[in-house]
Amino acid sequence: MTQNPTTASGTLAAGTPAFRTPASPTAVSPDALHTYAGRQSTTAERVAAHAGAVDVGPLTMTFGVIGAEFLAALGEVLESRRRRLADVAARHRRIGTETATAAGSYVAADTGAGHTMTRTGAGDIEVMV
């Protein structure tokens, strides 16, 4: 982006837009965004399925007094794993939700903008105000 010249006071000259940007076509596929969002939600479900709590209590008799410290450490490791997997699932779920929301916002903005534009006979786009 090229910034426009400013006046001596540091403000933009009257009538000058803040930035000039070259026009470039941008294409967004709402269907692709919805597909991506769906895959993120599916991934969240798959990860969450592995995030169940593990009860090490039934192993107490197997490990006995000698293995009690190991069993306690194992319980902490498994709980840490459960929390990490739950966090990863939540992030995937959030990405899916935000992507679906962005797709909806894009469609709404694009539809709204489309109602204010017409194509002239020469192929130019005219904005109605």
pLDDT one-digit tens code per residue, 7-61: 454 455 555 555 555 666 777 899 999 999 999 999 999 999 999 988 999 999 9
Does 16 reside within a domain? no
Closest CA to 53 of 79, 77, 89: 79
Would 73 be classed as within a structural domain? Answer: yes
Q: Do 40 and 102 meet the contact criterion of CB atoms below 8 Å apart?
A: no
- Asked if 20 and 2 count as a contact pair (C-beta separation under 8 A), the reply is yes
CA pair distance 56, 75, nearest whole angstrom: 6
Range of the domain at 101: 30-124
The reply to whether 94 falls in a domain is yes
Give per-residue pLDDT as tens, 51-84.
998 899 999 999 999 999 999 999 999 999 999 9
Is 37 within the bounds of a domain? Answer: yes
Residue 70 lies in a domain: yes
Q: For tokens 């939700």, what's the residue?
A: 97
Residue 89 in any domain: the answer is yes
13 is a domain residue: no
Please give the tally of structural domains in the chain: 1
Q: Looking at the whole model, is its pTM more than 0.85?
A: no
